[in-house]
Amino acid sequence: MCCIQLTCVFLRIFTVPPLLPNFLVKGDGPLILGLIIILILVLTLPFLVKPVEHNLEPFLFFMGLLATIVAGVLRKELVVEILENHLLYMITLAVLLAGILFKILQKRVKGAINGILKFLPLKVFLALIIILLGLLSSIITAIIASLVLVEIINNLPLDRRNKIRLDIIACFSIGLGAALTPIGEPLSTIATSKLDVDFWYLMREIGDLIIPGIVALGLLETYLLRTQGRSETLVAEQEEETYAGVIIRALKVFLFVLALELLGAGFKPVIDTYIIPLDSRLLYWINIISAILDNATLAAAEISPKMTSTQIEAILMGLLISGGMLIPGNIPNIVSAGRLKITSREWAALGVPLGLIILTIYYLIIFVL
């Protein structure tokens, strides 16, 4: 109710039917103020209002719809463009098919993990999972890597706290690694296309930044893991996901991708006008907004062939790291958070400070050292 009441008040103050056709002509002040309010709602309500926290996908979709109305861009052409995006259906189908496959093979997955843990220490296994999925995500795509991650974590002999931390660190790794080739994730596809470069350009450009970061994340997990005793050598029984649950999860991902598209379209006028002209050092930090906005949309708006190597590095690294800070920041986040039932507060408790630390380290590497 709190969310609905706030939204109704907001719409009465800032909207002019139909769909604000002259909104931008009258000045940017109301537009910016309206989008700032939406940004604040997206950043705060999932932490303050439990119904929002438990229904994150429809909430983000509603906020995205509201953003396009405020910005005056909600038109038939935009709806058609979003619905014609093949990635929307490919991602949803991948989640659905992988969910069904893993359900069928669930007992074999448990058996395989049990067998591995008889010969490999748990800490080493977890570090390898983070590093390998991070590196492989550039080939098998971020969405497939995250689906594999979820099934592994769900069958590991860890308590909830350890599982949440492992998942968040691994999602940072996958988010970074997927950018190494154009097939890893939409951001890398768009960056390669905008720069008109070859398949391995991103590997050459930011590989020396990303690969050590992925390895460091794997080592971080081995340091933070708190074992619980001998019982961890075998996988405990887990709650089995139903086929209905698999379908619902795929539909939630579909709605989530729609929400990201709408949020990106709604904020695009402000990004184009006020964000793109900024210095790369400032842009690096402002790209923290990719924690709730689609980083592919931001990359499409910000990247240009006229940029220097340092500017490209700054933009890409800022977007990639920030995407791991909150659940809406990346598709792997939303997939794993939904499957493992991780709340927004639980994710932010580690994701935000870890993201800020990583951002600071890379800032020093890119701009200072």
pLDDT for res 154: 87
Geometric angle at alpha carbon 111, from 107 and 113, rounded to 5°: 120
pLDDT average, residue stretch 325-344: 89
**How far does CA 22 lie from the centroid of its chain?**
33
- What is the pLDDT averaged over residues 37-49? 87
In this predicted model, what pLDDT tens digit does every residue of 121-151 receive, in sequence order?
999 999 999 999 999 999 988 988 998 999 8
List the structure tokens of 155.
């069958």
Cβ neighbours for 360, distance < 8 A, ≥ 6 positions apart: none
pLDDT of 24 higher than 60: no
pLDDT band at 28 (very low <50, low <70, confident <90, very high): low
Q: Compute the distance between CA of residue 233 and CA of residue 248 in angstroms, rounded to an integer.
A: 32
Burial (CB < 10 A; 0-12, 13-18, 19+), residue 163, is middle
Residue 157 has pLDDT above 80, yes or no: yes
Condensed to tens digits (0 to 9), the pLDDT of residues 33-42 reads 888 888 888 8
How far lies 281's CA from each of 210, 235, 267, in Å? 19, 46, 21
CA–CA gap between residue 87 and residue 95 (Å, rounded): 12
Whole-number Å distance between alpha carbons of 180 and 182: 7
* 173-195 average pLDDT score: 89
Contact (Cβ atoms closer than 8 angstroms) between residue 317 and residue 290? no
| Residue 283 Cα distances to 120, 172, 210, 249, angstroms | 43, 20, 19, 34
Most confident of 112-126, 142-156, 166-180, 245-259: 166-180
Q: What are phi and psi of 305, to 5 degrees?
A: -65, -20
Query: What are the pLDDT digits (tens) for 222-256?
Result: 998 875 444 444 444 455 667 888 888 888 888 88
pLDDT of residue 239: 58
pLDDT, average across residues 280-295: 86
**Does residue 18 have a cis peptide bond before it, meaning omega lies within 30 degrees of 0?**
yes
Residue 221 CA to residue 130 CA, distance in Å, equals 8
The answer on pLDDT for 5 being more than 60 is: no
Percent of the chain with pLDDT over 70: 88
Q: How confident is the model at residue 16 (pLDDT cuts 50, 70, 90)?
A: very low
Q: Are 155 and 125 in contact (CB under 8 A)?
A: no
pTM: 0.82
Please report the pLDDT score of residue 196 as a whole number: 85
pLDDT computed for residue 164 by the predictor? 94
Query: What confidence tier does 324 reach under pLDDT thresholds 50, 70, 90?
Result: very high
**308-319 pLDDT per residue, tens:** 888 889 999 999
Q: Determine the pLDDT at residue 204.
A: 93
Q: What is the mean pLDDT of the chain?
A: 83
Reported as a pLDDT band with limits 50, 70 and 90, residue 270 is confident
Measured at the alpha carbon of residue 316, what is the angle toward residues 340 and 71, in degrees to the nearest 5?
Answer: 80
Domain residue limits, the chain:
108-191+198-233
Which has more pLDDT, 219 or 155? 219
Three-class DSSP category at 266:
helix
The pLDDT confidence band at residue 257, using thresholds 50, 70 and 90, is confident
Whether 1 has a pLDDT exceeding 70, the answer reads no
